[in-house]
Chains A and B, each alone.
Chain A
């Protein structure tokens, strides 16, 4: 049996990390959430990360299956493991340290920790810049509502214990939607009560809504935007969803950029 040096990597952020570490040559297949960098979509797809196929994974003849916390179903991964292919789950924490830990973990699993130390140092430097900036902020943290997209007329917002809440914390912002847990549709009234100073929305959400003007005109957003005294387009921040919420290396950069735009990092 030929042994390919290969890691199918279910989980968008892990694919991103493999590219970041320059180890994309080891990838034999990716899952359907791996859309960054764009060339990653050229690999065969093992499907949705929560509906993997045991024989499908084994047919790629991998020497390692690398995936995120939520890959599954668990029975399928047990079958893969019992066929002799190591299955590694990389723990997920929605903090800057969590991202650095993920990168370190992937490097350790691949046995290249020493070689990629400078890359990890870069990430730590970004993390340090974030921490310095956000802890040195003199004014009160801005209240921010992070929205995924509109579904059935309501925006889906990031409540407590979500990747979105983690990103806001990294960027030194207060989650205006901390009243509820998880990703939930936010009503018009709840949005007005939340009184966010900024609204962050994914690019995909804006495109689906038909543009930033449509988002600002949406009933759930209009009342909030009316309370903003300056240019509302400055307070509606549009960013790539996977960059913000994938919790790969790009998320550190996204947090830094958000902090800059909201003025939570002085001097930027």
Chain B
């Protein structure tokens, strides 16, 4: 079954992601995951060795007099590369599980408004937090907390909307996503209008979104939050496979559908929210990556989710490497890079869906 088949209209209740997997895709699973792991290792290497300052890994780590290079490598580049990897993996896994949950290949956290919801939550916390004078440890928890809450609100709303008004068709979800994005945009715009000078400044810093603010403590917190959010998603992979047959069918095959939905809504929203809180909105990773992996090894979530995590991390690290080297000593927003790759891909997906 091809991706085209995934877009073909199917009777109500039937899955829209490719359910059948070709023998070739099954044969490719183990080698593909090995190749993706190797690619991730190479991307980390490329990320660590490229940057505005030419640094040789060996010299920086071994030579006594290379302390500036060593601190740039260990204090600036390493946490940044790892953070880009974590956020990329979290976005790709969230995208893959949302696509499974909505049985819709266009369910990308950015397109359907989950990322904007997270951004709205975080903005609200920045603006209100500055007037409530929240500081210290509370502020470190409050920002990702608010982002996660915002992401959950949108995901929950989308799920309620789709079950209340029937299964989303392939394109409807993008239309509802436009509405969700617009609503979140209203909120963020209103906050910008209302915020005082200091809050506006913090908000601008934050809305610019970049991995450039990564330090070891922020990396540690974000990585823990994203791992905690993504782990349940990997555990429900089998349930997601069965859900593709339809909710009733999955239920009769012994899947606790309510719990499955709750896990996916909470897990994907938390992973996206934690990522948005540290790096702002990084577009299209959640759309492009699961598709590429699905093309290679099929739609079985037990292999798709780890594959998406690996490829998401790889592509995001490479995109961030481009973002920080292309205009050095300045940098370009990483979302510009991922969107430049992702938007044409999105158009290609829509073109394929159009019946001839």
**Residue of B206, B330, B333 with most partner-chain A CB within 10 A:** B330
B212 touches A53 (CB 8 A): yes
Contact between chains at A181 and B196 (CB < 8 Å): yes
Question: What are the residues of chain B within 8 A of A74 when measuring CB–CB?
Answer: 205
Q: Which of B68-76, B113-121, B246-254 contacts A (4 or more CB under 8 A)?
A: B68-76
Q: Pick the residue among A56, A60, A182, A184 that contacts B324 (CB under 8 A).
A: A56
- The interface size of chain A toward B, counting residues with CB under 8 Å, comes to 34
**Interface code A30-46, partner B: CB below 8 Å = 1, 0 otherwise?**
00100000000000111
Closest Cβ of chain B to A124, distance in Å, is 28
Number of inter-chain CB pairs below 8 Å: 95
CB of A70 closer than 8 Å to a CB of B: yes
Indicate whether B165 reaches chain A with its CB closer than 8 angstroms. no
A254 to chain B, nearest CB (A): 22
Instruction: Give chain B residues whose Cβ lies under 8 Å from the Cβ of A59.
Output: 51-53, 328-329
Chief secondary structure at chain A's binding surface: loop
From 36 to 85 in chain A, residues with beta carbon under 8 angstroms from any chain B beta carbon are: 44-48, 50-60, 70, 72-76, 78-79, 82-84
Asked if A161 CB lies within 8 Å of chain B CBs, one says yes
Residue pair B212, A73 in contact (C-beta under 8 Å): yes
Which B residues are CB-close (under 8 A) to A252?
none
Quick check: A51 and B208 within 8 Å, CB to CB? yes
Q: What is the predominant secondary structure among interface residues of chain B facing chain A? A: helix
Does A258 reach chain B (CB closer than 8 Å)?
no
Residues of chain B contacted by A44 (CB below 8 angstroms): 329
Q: Chain B residues near A184: list those with CB within 8 A.
A: 193
Determine whether the beta carbon of B75 is less than 8 Å from that of A79.
yes
Report the nearest B residue to A60, measured CB to CB: B329
- CB <8 Å contact, A82 and B75: yes
A182 and B52 contact, CB distance less than 8 A: no
Given known pairs A46-B330, A51-B331, A79-B76, the reply for A58 and B197 (CB within 8 Å) is no
Contact A47 B331 (CB under 8 A): yes
Closest to A59 in B: B52
Q: Does B4 contact A (CB under 8 A)?
A: no
Inter-subunit contact B331/A53 (CB<8 Å)? yes
Docked pose: A56 CA to B329 CA in angstroms: 4
Are A75 and B75 closer than 8 Å at their CB atoms? Answer: no
Contact A50 B205, CB 8 Å, known A73-B213, A82-B75: yes
Neighbour of B76 across the interface among A1, A48, A55, A161, CB < 8 A: A55
Specify which chain A residues have a CB less than 8 angstroms from the CB of B327 in the assembled complex: 47
| Residue pair A75, B213 in contact (C-beta under 8 Å) | yes
B329 CB to closest chain A CB (Å) equals: 3
Tell me if B210 counts as interface (CB < 8 A to partner A): yes
B75→A55 contact, CB < 8 A: no
For residue A161, which residues in chain B have a CB less than 8 angstroms away from its CB?
Answer: 197
- Chain B minimum-CB-distance residue to A69: B201
Q: How far, in Å, is B8 (CB) from chain A's closest CB? A: 42
Q: CB of A29 within 8 A of chain B?
A: yes
Residue of B at shortest CB range from A84? B68
Residue pair A51, B210 in contact (C-beta under 8 Å)? yes
> In the complex, A56 Cα to B53 Cα: how many Å?
7
Interfacial residues, chain A to chain B (CB-CB below 8 A): 1, 29, 32, 44-48, 50-60, 70, 72-76, 78-79, 82-84, 161, 181-182, 184
- Nearest first, the 7 closest Cβ-Cβ pairs linking A and B are A47-B330, A56-B329, A59-B52, A75-B213, A53-B331, A73-B205, A59-B53
7 A-B pairs within 8 Å (CB atoms) are namely A45-B330, A52-B330, A53-B52, A70-B201, A82-B75, A83-B76, A182-B200
Further 19 A-B residue pairs, CB within 8 A, beyond A56-B324, A59-B329, A79-B75: A46-B329, A47-B331, A50-B205, A50-B208, A51-B205, A52-B330, A53-B324, A53-B330, A55-B51, A55-B72, A55-B77, A58-B72, A59-B53, A60-B329, A70-B201, A78-B215, A79-B215, A83-B76, A182-B200
Give the A-binding residues of B (Cβ under 8 A): 51-53, 68, 71-72, 75-77, 193, 196-197, 200-201, 204-206, 208, 210, 212-213, 215, 218, 324, 327-331, 333
